[in-house]
Amino acid sequence: MWGLLVLIGAASVSAHPQDLAFDGQKVFRVIPQNDEQVELINFLASNMQVDFWQPDSATLVRPKMEVDFRVEAGKSFEVEDLLKESGVEYRVLIDNLQAALDAQFDSKTRTTKHSYDKYNSWETIAAWTADIAAQNPDLVSRSVIGKTYEGRSIYLLKLGKSGPNKKAIFLDCGFHAREWISPAFCQWFVKEAVESYGKDTATTKLLNRLDFYVLPVVNIDGYVYTWTNDRMWRKTRSKNAESRCIGTDPNRNLNVAWCSIGASKNPCDPTYCGPAPESEKEIKALTDFIRKNVSTIKAYLTIHSYSQLLLFPYSYTYKSAADYDELNSIAGAASKELASLYKTKYKYGPGAEILYPAAGGSEDWAYDQGIKYSFTFELRDTGRYGFLLPESQIKPTCEETLLAVKYIANYVLEHL
């Protein structure tokens, strides 16, 4: 009887399968000081159903690193007790994930209508790609560069005034499904381009002289899954042979020192590199397009979250890139531009040093294809909300990021 009442009660407030799924879950931040404490984290990872937020997998944890992970409601007290007993330095970043989840939709009105300062579903984004192209025919065109594993069209927008022999900048968003601020940025970027063209001289010049390829969501199937089933999903949604676990980490799937470091061969891991390089249809579509246009593409920018980092090659090795000095000074200047608006602080440097070594990532791949200006952004925040960045932060996050992207674009234009 009671059980039935509870069920009815839950059903009446819950419109989505995941509406209350995160109640009682916690996100911890631990800073292991030595190998022994790293061991403890690995123990938790293999015994307590822990979801790593930062770094992306337990195997990437090293001493002195900030480690954020999510723990299931039923295990959160046990995990906290273990952390206390072990004497490891920790704090509770998010006390009740459900509250943070509700806070991400903090702009009160919910509609399915497209909005630049809200998170849009894939359906809404897909319709928007058609509309924005139709409304700006001399500035925006849309193409399909392939299909996802589940059969969705992968849309690519090309921005720029048409002209002979134009060079281009490639920008993608939504590699990782749960990093919702990323697709929001790609949409914002397109909006700013079409609204500022002919009004703002710097933007007009950029679009007159360069094309921008914008891929609003790479991992569309994963993004859809975060809306319908599991907000914390990261990987693609492809099935794996001889495993019940689903998905490949798209940013470990490129053919650059593939699966040699910072990636897993286990399909159940969040950093699974896939059965082969470019096994994922989404990645194959992206790399095919870039290979085909490699002589015109002068910069590659890929947007992730969270951590507030601006990374450049390499991640697959500690060796510094041939263009280290130039990339480092661009990253420094771009970070400074970004901070000029709201004082948001970014760290910058090669991925392996600033974050962790990890092979098969897209900026390393693009760089080794000869695209010198290759950067990964990790947008806001630094863990207060993590992947659940509230909608009220979309506008400021996109505005400040745009300053950095424009800085890089101008630099590229001046160094063609």
Catalytic positions, please? 378
Answer for the pair 398, 185: CB distance below 8 angstroms, yes or no: yes
Indicate the burial class of 105 (C-beta count within 10 angstroms; 0-12, 13-18, 19 or more): middle
The yes or no reply on residue 218 touching ligand ARG (CB under 6 A) is no
Token representation of residue 170: 């490639």
Q: Map residues 238-267 to x or -, x wherever contact with ligand ARG holds by CB under 6 A.
A: -------------x----------------
In angstroms, what is the minimal distance from the CB of 98 to ligand ARG?
A: 25
- Closer to ligand ARG by Cβ: residue 211 or 364: 364
- Closer to ligand ARG by Cβ: residue 120 or 376: 376
DSSP β-bridge partners for residue 50: 71
DSSP β-bridge partners for residue 246: 239
What letters, b where the CB count within 10 A reaches 16 and e where it falls short, cover 282-306? bbebbbebbeeeeeebbbbbbbbbb
By CB under 5 A, the residues from 170 to 209 that bind Zn ion are 176
- Closer to ligand ARG by Cβ: residue 251 or 382: 251
- Closer to ligand ARG by Cβ: residue 315 or 397: 315
Rule CB under 6 A: choose which of 172, 363, 381, 400 binds ligand ARG.
363
The yes or no reply on residue 380 touching Zn ion (CB under 5 A) is no
Query: Token pair 């995160």 is at which residue?
Result: 22
In angstroms, what is the minimal distance from the CB of 251 to ligand ARG?
A: 3
- Closer to ligand ARG by Cβ: residue 337 or 364: 364
Q: Which residue is nearest to ligand ARG (CB)?
A: 361
- Closer to ligand ARG by Cβ: residue 168 or 358: 358
Closest CA to 173 of 133, 120, 127: 120
Rule CB under 5 A: choose which of 75, 281, 304, 372 binds Zn ion.
304
Which one of ligand ARG, Zn ion, none is in contact with 70 (Cβ closer than 5 to 8 A by kind)? Answer: none
The yes or no reply on residue 376 touching ligand ARG (CB under 6 A) is yes
By CB under 6 A, the residues from 132 to 171 that bind ligand ARG are none
- How many angstroms separate the CA atoms of 26 and 93, rounded? 8
- How many angstroms separate the CA atoms of 401 and 377, rounded? 9
The yes or no reply on residue 381 touching ligand ARG (CB under 6 A) is no
Q: Say which DSSP state 180 is in.
A: T
Rule CB under 6 A: choose which of 32, 174, 270, 361 binds ligand ARG.
361
Rule CB under 6 A: choose which of 187, 219, 236, 315 binds ligand ARG.
315
Rule CB under 6 A: choose which of 247, 351, 386, 390 binds ligand ARG.
351
Answer for the pair 175, 198: CB distance below 8 angstroms, yes or no: no
How would you list the strands of the sheet with 167-173, edge to edge? Answer: 140-147, 153-159, 210-215, 167-173, 297-305, 373-379, 309-312, 347-350
- How many angstroms separate the CA atoms of 172 and 213, rounded? 8
Closest CA to 406 of 299, 322, 286, 289: 299
The yes or no reply on residue 349 touching ligand ARG (CB under 6 A) is no
- How many angstroms separate the CA atoms of 221 and 298, rounded? 29
Q: Catalog residues that contact Zn ion under the rule CB under 5 A.
A: 176, 304
Q: Catalog residues that contact ligand ARG under the rule CB under 6 A.
A: 56, 251, 304, 311, 315, 351, 355, 358, 361, 363-364, 376
